[in-house]
Chains A and B, each alone.
Chain A
Amino acid sequence: MRRVPPILLLFVLVPLLVEGFWVFWPALQGFWLALTNWDGVSAPRFVGLGNFSRMIDDPVFHTAVTNTAIWLVLFGGLSAAGGLGLAVLLQKERRGVGAYRAALFVPVVFSLVATSLIWQVLYQPGGIFDSSPLADPDTALYAVLVPALWRQVGYVMVLYLAGLKGIDPGLYEAATLDGATAWQKFTHVTWPQLRSVNSVVLSVIVIDSLRSFDVVWSMTRGGPYHSSELLSTYMYATAFQSLKLGYASALAVVIFVLAFGVIVTYLVRAFREN
């Protein structure tokens, strides 16, 4: 076996140390804080799993979990479907297609807070709607979902466009010679060839939906009366408005477990198939 040159070891170890100190160590502390009651000033008080058992009776936590699930399904599903649809539609090079792609990608460039401000104005009572959908607890979550999707679809589209470019055109020629219809080409050539992109898209979507925060916070702050609360906004409000950092850390652990769980399950499956 060839000896690893020390300079390369250094290149691995130094970033690992930096990462360990600035990322892993605080993350581990987060797990510890989840087992305590802490106001950010006094010493944390150990309460075991008290924070987690408290979630069971916390109605706002239940709303936040339900909303996060709705968000994951709608935000994830619609942006994946929309992104793929647009990518397939816009993959062929023809005149002006670049302008369409750019137009769909532009929302990704905007800061989400700026995006929310624009949409807030659109939603204002007396504008498109007589009364603001953001103020109605039945519609608030969906009203926030639309701008989030508006942005995410462009992003997913670019990922899929890159994936589509990587497919060997020979496969399509062969399929055409075999008399495949457009739909057959999609299901038997395009979709299987996109498998590696799909795992990227899935990870991106799961992570993005669980960390969706800015758009909700700047548009509704989880309101009216917690109806658009996500786990992320509830965690923030618990930590920095109510100053219950222990409970907030426990919420963060829940978010982590959800994100990690979904992604690991998928990756394990994907590796097994390979």
Chain B
Amino acid sequence: MDRRHFLRVTAAAGAGLLVSGTASCATSASSGPVAQTAGTATIQSNLSAPAAKAAIEALVKAFNDRRGAQVSVNTVASETFRTQLPSYLTSANPPDLFTWYPGSLLKGYEEKGLLLDVSDVWQTMGDYPQAFKTLSGKVFVPTTYYWWGFFYRKSNFARWGVTPPKTWQEFVALCQTLQGKGVVPLGMGAGADSPWTASSWFDYFNIRINGAPFHRELLAGKQRFDDPKVKAIFTPWREVLPYTDPNGTAIGFQEATTAMLQGRTGMLLTGAFFADAAPKDAIDDIDFFRFPIIDPKVPLAEEGPTDGFFASARSPHVKELKEFLTYAATAEGQEVYLKASSGTVLPTHPGAKDTGTPLVQKGRAHLKEAAEITQFFNRDSSDALQPTADAALVKFLQQPDQLDSILATWQKAAEQVWSA
């Protein structure tokens, strides 16, 4: 190749790049309706943990094997998913289905007309409890949920000669006993990558003392974080701080789980999902108890975060995706999912069989007894409010004497989020 020819070729390639760049941009900038095309609907999934990924892939395979509509799944890291979600939804050629959870973020997108109305899928879900319907609105199809509690190893509790507490007094006494035996009673994993786990403590103290309705109002901006009622929940929390792992704000959620499984800490307030990462032989040894009742007059509330799917309003595969959602909402679809998962989530379909382990059955009953279900701090409020809670609660764990200024700062930061 001579020099002149080489130059011509490279110049053409450069111009080609430019043209294709402009062209692709023109497509993504157009926002007109997209023609309905037959084909495969795509699920954008943030279930990147191995067990959860295997479960959704099993569900998709079972669906595709029915030889009806076809779907494919595209798994991305959950952090990428979260930051890219607005772009996905506003692009002209979005993925069709998304894994997510109900909450204020979804409501916001619904109000902006970005989400597909899936009421006709709900027509097939007649036997679902009203709670799921209220939670989901018209745009969400719940498929699984799970529970939170104090998880511990049965063998360790037996070795230490202690039993699960019911009341707050029994809980504090249990902590004292464990500390007397040289065990750190309460695990905590609110370090660098998981400060949000501290919010579970906040949620529980608030729903135990002030009740779920107040909790929801607080998280929706209708109450204040510097309210005396909010300040009051930190009194019992402060009471158990001496029993909480002093490294609780230094280690992450995974290390805190390991510490509990290895018996270095007595118990850990966590969601059932932690079992995804627990070794198989430990799972049979795991049990949990309810966050102790503090005020018996307050109706029992529990955290029961719900997961499922929603669809983009701009999807060209409405028929296919609705067929998939309908399948995912059936008992059959959920049983397929659970069988391939780590087996600690619960099916939302009331007739679907769970994995049947004693732990899961206990978890299902545990949520059934609750009069109110909350979702979790960020789900009941927003992902934007979560960092304000992280800053406030980690500071409280480290400097409980600063409570007044912490709550004042929290309220100010929250107002900025709500006003945005």
Partner of B7, one of A7, A15, A132, A225: A7
Beyond the given pairs A39-B108, A125-B247, 11 more chain A to chain B contacts, judged by CB atoms under 8 angstroms and listed by A's residue number, are A7-B11, A21-B21, A40-B86, A41-B114, A60-B413, A120-B192, A134-B191, A220-B192, A224-B195, A224-B398, A243-B86
Task: Spot the interface stretch: B38-46, B322-330, B389-397.
Answer: B389-397
**A18 in contact (CB, < 8 A):** yes
- Determine if A135 and B249 form an interchain contact, defined as CB atoms under 8 angstroms apart: yes
Task: Spot the interface stretch: B127-135, B156-164, B206-214, B380-388.
Answer: B380-388
> Could you tell me the distance in whole angstroms from the C-beta of B201 to the nearest C-beta in chain A?
16
**B250 in contact (CB, < 8 A):** yes
- Determine if A240 and B82 form an interchain contact, defined as CB atoms under 8 angstroms apart: yes
Number of interface residues of B (CB under 8 A): 43
- Determine if A18 and B18 form an interchain contact, defined as CB atoms under 8 angstroms apart: yes
- Some 9 contacts from A to B, beta carbons below 8 A apart, are A14-B18, A21-B22, A134-B192, A135-B250, A135-B398, A225-B390, A225-B394, A240-B83, A242-B387
Q: A17-B18, A18-B21, A241-B383 are in contact. Are A223 and B192 (CB under 8 A)?
A: yes
In this complex, which of B112, B114, B391 has the most chain A Cβ atoms within 10 angstroms of its Cβ?
Answer: B391
**B267 in contact (CB, < 8 A):** no
Contacts of A137 in B (CB 8 A): 398
Number of interface residues of A (CB under 8 A): 39
Bound together, the chains give a CA A29 to CA B372 distance in angstroms of: 46
Bound together, the chains give a CA A65 to CA B7 distance in angstroms of: 48
- Determine if B247 and A131 form an interchain contact, defined as CB atoms under 8 angstroms apart: yes
**A4 in contact (CB, < 8 A):** no
Closest to B412 in A: A59
- Determine if A221 and B193 form an interchain contact, defined as CB atoms under 8 angstroms apart: yes
Closest to A224 in B: B394
Which of A's residues lie within 8 Å of B, judged by CB? 7, 10-11, 14-15, 17-18, 21-22, 37, 39-42, 59-60, 120, 124-126, 131-132, 134-135, 137, 219-221, 223-226, 237, 240-244, 247
Contacts of B398 in A (CB 8 A): 135, 137, 224
- Determine if A15 and B14 form an interchain contact, defined as CB atoms under 8 angstroms apart: yes
- Determine if A40 and B87 form an interchain contact, defined as CB atoms under 8 angstroms apart: yes
A-B residue pairs, 7 tightest by C-beta: A135-B250, A132-B250, A40-B86, A225-B391, A240-B83, A242-B384, A125-B247
- Determine if A41 and B86 form an interchain contact, defined as CB atoms under 8 angstroms apart: yes
**B400 in contact (CB, < 8 A):** no
**B59 in contact (CB, < 8 A):** no
Contact string against A for B residues 2-40, beta-carbon threshold 8 Å, 1 for contact and 0 otherwise: 000001000100110110011001000000000000000
- Determine if A241 and B247 form an interchain contact, defined as CB atoms under 8 angstroms apart: no
> Could you tell me the distance in whole angstroms from the C-beta of A42 to the nearest C-beta in chain B?
6
